[in-house]
Chains A and B, each alone.
Chain A
Amino acid sequence: MIRVSVQSDPIDIAAELALLVGAGVGGIATFTGVVRADDGVSALELEHYPGATEAALRALTEEAAERWSLAAATVTHRVGVMHPGDMVVFVGTAAIHRAAALESCAYLIDRLKTDAPFWKRETRGDRASWVEPRDGDMVAAARWKDD
């Protein structure tokens, strides 16, 4: 079972987890990204490339499902305006054994950050600025190519 979603609605963790549990295997790993409250950020706006974003997420998720023989994988990314404490992204993987679930979950969030067309704009006070890509994200995504 593979499910990807790009949505303006809040992420429903219980529903996401229920999908993964429904796959009927013993190992589930999840990653949840939350809007940081630090350094004065009052709002975070996510823009995306409709159609291409969903296709990119689906391609990554299918790749992970094959590489780690996953029973289920779900990637849900919010778009639009969010605030500190809101969940931005949820990645969940289900496999027979924990190593496959944990590794594929890390793979999906690392690759999502560099390969899926989303753009973040932060608001601090009355100033909004586009977030610059981080070199560390490129390094994190690249490490999976050496395996």
Chain B
Amino acid sequence: MAIDLLYFSWVREAIGTGSETLDPPEGLASVSDLVDWLATRSEGHARAFADRARLRAAVDQVFVPLDAPLGRPREVAIFPPVTGG
């Protein structure tokens, strides 16, 4: 099942793109499992996802902890802690 991945800020820069559509393997239970799989895709992905404490995520635009269940999302965003205002 294809998932739209979105990346922001230095996560986007490290990976080299702001979005990609991928078909991850079955059986990824949590957002963290998805990140583990993504990290194997390229050096940039590995660099972006090296420090999990600096990552935040949203599943179908709902902000969730990395250990949240993945379910069957259409869109997953991975990004650093926010710094607006």
Stretch from B20-28, B29-37, B38-46, B76-84 that touches the partner: B76-84
Q: By the criterion of a CB under 8 Å from any partner CB, how many residues of chain A are at the interface?
A: 28
| Chain A 75-115 interface 0/1 with B at a Cβ cutoff of 8 Å (1 = within) | 00100000000001100000000000000000001001111
A132 to B82 CA separation, bound complex (whole angstroms): 8
Number of contact residues on B: which range applies?
10 to 19
B interface residue numbers (CB < 8 A to A): 6, 8-10, 58, 61, 63, 77, 79-85
> Which B-chain residue is minimally distant from A122 (CB atoms)?
B83
Across the interface, do B83 and A120 meet the contact criterion of CB distance under 8 Å?
A: yes
CB-CB under 8 A from B81, the residues of chain A are 133
A77 to B84 CA separation, bound complex (whole angstroms): 9
* Chain A positions 1-39 with a Cβ under 8 Å from a chain B Cβ: 33
Known: A49-B58, A49-B77, A52-B58. A117 touches B82 (CB 8 A): yes
